[in-house]
A and B are shown apart, each in its own frame.
Chain A
Amino acid sequence: MTTAGMRRGGTVLTVLGLAGLIVLYWMCFFWVSTEVNQGVVQRIFYVHVPAAWTSFLAIGFAAVASAMYLWLRDDRLDRAALCAIEGGLVFATLVLTTGPLWGKIAWGTYWTWEPRLTLTLLLWFIFFGYIMVRNSTEDPEKGKRFAAVVAIIGAMDIPFIHLSVVWFRSLHPEPVVAKPDGPTLPGDMLATLLFGVLVFSLLFFGFFLFRYAVEALRAEADLRARSAT
């Protein structure tokens, strides 16, 4: 895929995503029914949760790309991992800002150690660590390899973190009312949630393609500068 093709693809996905976002917001505010316990503020759920899932998608994608990079040494795989990580960082930040907002209004506390929020916080640091490591070596090739290792180990740890935090929570239940989650969700809420996931995924891949195109161009420019000297 040429960079022009990528930009086009990125544009298409992002436009679709943004259009979907508008529809999602409409659904959030006007269509879906209000949750019984928390009231109107619960609607932030439809942005908060898809953003979280997208950040998990990002680390998974980055870990697979990183593993393949270590195996095949194709720079494009490393580039893909980097772009996924950056996208993931953005969405994780979104989760970490909507979470406390939601928490404060719904339950009076900014922070709660509920599994999803905790996992996203740690994931944020894994993203951060990846970027830090990638830029902290003298030899850029080393940086790519180190970062790939960080992504892979990070992704491997996620299931452990999830299980342990869920178990921890079962011991120390926080004074939080049940949040509608999973298959027990009533129809319209489930639909909105799934649509949210779709929209955010579109946006993620749209951003990813744009970012990837920029990185590819930069690599090309580097190469040209090098052969010119």
Chain B
Amino acid sequence: MNHYLVQVWAILRKDLLLEIRSLERIGAMGAFAVLAGVLFNFSIDTTAVRPDDVATGLIWMTLIFGGLLGVGRTFQLEAQDGALQGILTSPAPKDAIFLGKTIANFVLLYVVSILVLGVFGLFFGLDLGQNLGWVVFVLGIGSLGFVAVGTLFAAVAAGTHLKETLLPVLVFPLMVPMVIYGVGAMMPLVNGRPITEVEGNVRMLGAFTLAAVAAGAVLFRYVVED
């Protein structure tokens, strides 16, 4: 068990180290987040709709599109020098590899999601004072669930000749529950409602994320085997 965690940590650390060295993904995702906020602002008719009504929804959509950007490249890191092969032929269990990569992607997306929260809060005039902790918590669960599905299908996409263009088709239909429960939980919180009102949604979101991570861990080996 201990060795398993060491392996997960090694992969997680390696992915994050590579990210820090190149800053490629986080740069793209961060820029996307801010620019999306700008474009959204101009695409909404602020006389017809109150910005804070739609802000939560837009935050989640930005998360999903931006997340797709980041997760799509998760196996590109390994493509150079066939490094993925190096990991696959090591004694690291395939689910450990999946968990390491998923958590690394999660850290990446979570950081960006906090950025999105801040930027959109600014652009749309949200008062995040109350419930900030819960809002950040809900974002975390959502990010993890998204990243789990995204990482699994990124491995699939990497093995096809369509590559990342396949990802939206596979991932978006599955994200409906996440968006519904995520926004459903977050919007009342942003509007100052107590956590008890959205407990159900948070629990469903958690269940979704748990199922996504578990399914990914089990099925990943079938995607990367040769």
B219 touches A164 (CB 8 A): no
Question: Is the CB of B60 closer than 8 A to any CB of chain A?
Answer: no
Question: Is the CB of B222 closer than 8 A to any CB of chain A?
Answer: yes
A interface size (C-beta, 8 A): 32
Given A157-B174, A160-B211, A149:B152 Cβ within 8 A: yes
Q: Say what secondary structure dominates the interface of chain A.
A: helix
Question: Is the CB of B32 closer than 8 A to any CB of chain A?
Answer: no
Question: Is the CB of B1 closer than 8 A to any CB of chain A?
Answer: no
B176 touches A153 (CB 8 A): no
Chain B residues with Cβ under 8 A from A142's Cβ? 159
Chain B residues with Cβ under 8 A from A165's Cβ? 176, 180
- CA–CA, A157 to B223, complex, Å? 19
Given A133-B166, A149-B223, A126:B180 Cβ within 8 A: no
- CA–CA, A162 to B90, complex, Å? 41
Question: Is the CB of A152 closer than 8 A to any CB of chain B?
Answer: yes
Question: Is the CB of B49 closer than 8 A to any CB of chain A?
Answer: no
Question: Is the CB of B169 closer than 8 A to any CB of chain A?
Answer: yes
- CA–CA, A125 to B171, complex, Å? 10
B166, B201, B222: most-surrounded residue (chain A CB, <10 A): B222
Question: Is the CB of B39 closer than 8 A to any CB of chain A?
Answer: no
B166 touches A167 (CB 8 A): no
Given A136-B162, A160-B208, A152:B174 Cβ within 8 A: no
B169 touches A125 (CB 8 A): yes
Q: Say what secondary structure dominates the interface of chain B.
A: helix
Residue of B nearest to A149 (CB): B219
Chain B residues with Cβ under 8 A from A153's Cβ? 149, 152, 174, 215, 219
B166 touches A136 (CB 8 A): yes
Chain A residues with Cβ under 8 A from B161's Cβ? 136-138
Question: Is the CB of B136 closer than 8 A to any CB of chain A?
Answer: no
Question: Is the CB of A176 closer than 8 A to any CB of chain B?
Answer: no
Question: Is the CB of B156 closer than 8 A to any CB of chain A?
Answer: yes
Question: Is the CB of B84 closer than 8 A to any CB of chain A?
Answer: no
- A164 touches which one: B162, B173, B177, B211 (CB < 8 A)? B177
Q: How far is the CB of A161 from chain B (nearest CB, A)?
A: 5
B173 touches A149 (CB 8 A): no
Residues facing B in A146-190 (CB within 8 A) are 146, 148-150, 152-154, 156-157, 160-161, 163-165, 167-168, 171
A167 touches B173 (CB 8 A): no
A128, A129, A148, A163: most-surrounded residue (chain B CB, <10 A): A129
Q: How far is the CB of B222 from chain A (nearest CB, A)?
A: 5
Given A136-B160, A136-B161, A149-B223, A122:B169 Cβ within 8 A: no
Residues facing A in B159-186 (CB within 8 A) are 159-162, 166, 169-170, 172-174, 176-177, 180-181, 184
B222 touches A154 (CB 8 A): no
Which residues of A does B touch, CB under 8 Å? 70, 118, 122, 125-126, 128-129, 132-133, 136-138, 142-143, 145-146, 148-150, 152-154, 156-157, 160-161, 163-165, 167-168, 171
23 contacts between A and B (CB under 8 A): A70-B219, A70-B222, A122-B173, A125-B173, A129-B169, A133-B160, A136-B160, A136-B166, A137-B160, A146-B160, A148-B222, A149-B222, A156-B211, A156-B215, A157-B173, A161-B177, A163-B177, A164-B177, A165-B176, A167-B180, A167-B181, A167-B184, A167-B201
Which residues of B does A touch, CB under 8 Å? 149, 152, 156, 159-162, 166, 169-170, 172-174, 176-177, 180-181, 184, 201, 204, 207-208, 211, 215, 219, 222-223, 225
Given contacts A157-B173, A161-B176, A167-B181, 11 further A-B contacts (CB under 8 A): A125-B172, A133-B156, A138-B161, A153-B219, A154-B174, A160-B177, A160-B204, A164-B180, A164-B204, A168-B184, A171-B184
